[in-house]
Every structure is written in structure tokens, then in C-alpha cells.
Amino acid sequence: MPSNYTRLLLVAAVTASLVIAGCGSQQAKTTPPVQSKIGLIVMEKAIQAHPKYADVQRLQKDYAALAARIEAEQAQGLATSPGLPAPGSPDALEQAAAKEFEARMKAKEAEVRTRLQAAADEVSRGMAAELDAYIRELDQEYQPQIFSLQLKLKTVQLSKEEAAPLQAEMDKLQQERAAKISARQQELLAKSDAVMKGKQSEAEKELAAYAQSLNNELAGKLAGRQAEIAGRVAPPGATGGPAAAEKLAATGRQIAAVQETIIADIRDKAAKVAVQSGLDTVLAEVKVNVSATDITDAVIAEFKK
């Protein structure tokens, strides 16, 4: 991974610099200044030759295998968990929750409508029975009078002038009876409407409460399923989840630690070679327009000592 290893390695060969500086001060009057000497190290080559590089490769393989297993287990969990959509459908859970809400609300509304209809039928039967009772009560008062008048009109030989008052009286009694029945019907209808309005209001409150309760229930289920998809809840029987994620992170930290150890060791070995070679500075494979001595092999040789 060149991007991780290509770092600017600036090694100040302290001992060499001090020696050169001292010599310069003693010979300043007789010789020109000593030119700076630069060393170059190919970091990728040095890293790959380091004894601990095999550990980095092993850890990187472990990291890749663990990451692949976690991803596979999460995909399998999503595919086999009941009620969960297939991977790659970010809106599927919300859509499923909305459909479930709609279906259950329709079922609840149908249940409430059935109850209201049953209540309306019961009220209607009650009102009809009450009206019948009232009509029977009226008939006890009006029917004898009407019957008597009808009998007279049919059995007694009356002139037209004599029959007219009897017919008028009978018509009046019938109209009074009909008016009283109509008035009681209106009264019973108003009473029925008031009863059903109360029941309708109760039904609306029941539906509103059910909708709120259902919304809370589905919101909780949705959050749980989203957490499962995100990996915060491991699928049943899976070895992934938080423990695997922590192991993955720990392996990543191990890789970084070994890499830092290798870099530090290369830095130390490069400083030693720089002192032995009389170099002022060592650059880590950077392109500069200067002449430099490649000390990569010398540093690698230090690993084997």
C-alpha cells in the first residue's frame, strides 16, 4: 500500500552533523565549506524487506477475511429474517410499515363500521317498538270512535246532508291520529339521531386512539428492523454484530501499530547508516533535483544484524 508507506523520512544524522560542523570551524581559514551530503532510501523496498512485514501481510489477510465474513453474515441475515426486505432497498422498510398501517387501519374501520351498523339497527328496532306501542295507545282512544262513525255511515240510511257531518268528524279523528303518529315519529327520529351521533363520536375517538397506538407500535418495529439492518442487532445464529466489528477494528489497530514499528525501525537504521556514511540528510524517495546516495540496501542489511 504505497499511500501508507510513502512518507518523507527526514533523518538528522546528529553525530555526523556535529563532526562536520566542528571540522568546518577549525579549517575555515584554509579550506572551502564542505558540501552537504544527501542520502536516499526507497521506503517501499525497505518496508517489504523488514522482518515484520510478514506480520503486516498476515494481519491484512485476517482483516479482509473478517470484513468479508461480517458482510456476508449481514446479507444472509437480511435475506432470511422474517419481515425484512431484500438488501439494497433503503425505503422498503418504510413502505412496508406504511402498508401495514393502512391495512390494519382499514380492518379497524371495517370493524367499527360493523359495530355502528349493528347499533343503528338496534336503535331502529327500539324506536319502531316504541312507535308501535304509541300507535296501539292511540288506537285505544281513536279506533272506537272511528269504528262507530264508520258503522253508522254504512248501516244507517242517511241522506247526504246527514252523512256529511259524520264523515267530517271521522276524517278529523283520522287526521288527528295521523298527526300524532307523525309527530311521535319525528321525535323518535331526533332521539335516534342523537344516540347515533354519540356512538359515531365514540367510534371516531376509538379510531384516533387506535391509529396513534398503531403508529407507535409500527415506529418501534421499524426502528428495531432498521437497527438490525445497520448491524446494531446481529441476526440469530450469526457470529457478527458488535463483537465482530470490535475484532475488525482491533485488527486494524494491530496493522497500524506494526506499520509504525517498521517505520520507526527503518528510521533508526537509516540514521545509523547516515552516520556511518557521513551523510547530513536522508530523504525517503522524493523526487528532487539533487545528487543523492541510495542507502536502501545498507538499511536492509542492518535488519539482518
Write out the three cell numbers for 255: 496493522
3-class SS of residue 284: strand
pLDDT tens per residue, the chain (305 residues)?
333 333 333 333 322 332 333 333 344 444 444 455 888 888 888 898 999 899 989 998 888 888 888 777 766 655 555 544 444 344 677 888 889 999 999 999 999 999 999 999 999 999 999 999 999 999 999 999 989 888 888 877 778 888 888 899 999 999 999 999 999 999 999 999 999 999 999 999 999 999 999 989 988 888 887 777 766 544 444 455 567 788 888 898 999 999 889 988 898 888 888 888 888 777 776 555 557 788 889 888 888 87
CA proximity to 187, closest of 134, 117, 125, 116 = 134
Residue 262's pLDDT is: 92
Phi-psi region of 231 (alpha: psi -120 to 50; beta: other; left: phi over 0): left
> How far is the C-alpha of 199 from the C-alpha of 248, rounded, in Å?
61
In three-state form (DSSP H/G/I as H, E/B as E, the rest C), the secondary structure along 24-43 is: HHHCCCCCCCCCCCEEEECH
Contact 89, 226 (CB under 8 A): no
Residue 26's pLDDT is: 40
Q: What residues form DSSP beta bridges with 282?
A: 11, 39
Residue 286's pLDDT is: 55
Other CB atoms closer than 10 Å to residue 84's CB: what's the count? 19
Maximum Cα interatomic distance, the chain, rounded to a whole number of Å? 174
CA proximity to 75, closest of 91, 89, 56 = 89
Residue 20's pLDDT is: 31
Domain ranges of the chain: 2-81+236-263+278-303, 113-229
Residue 22's pLDDT is: 34
Contact 228, 84 (CB under 8 A): yes
Contact 73, 242 (CB under 8 A): no
Residue 75's pLDDT is: 63
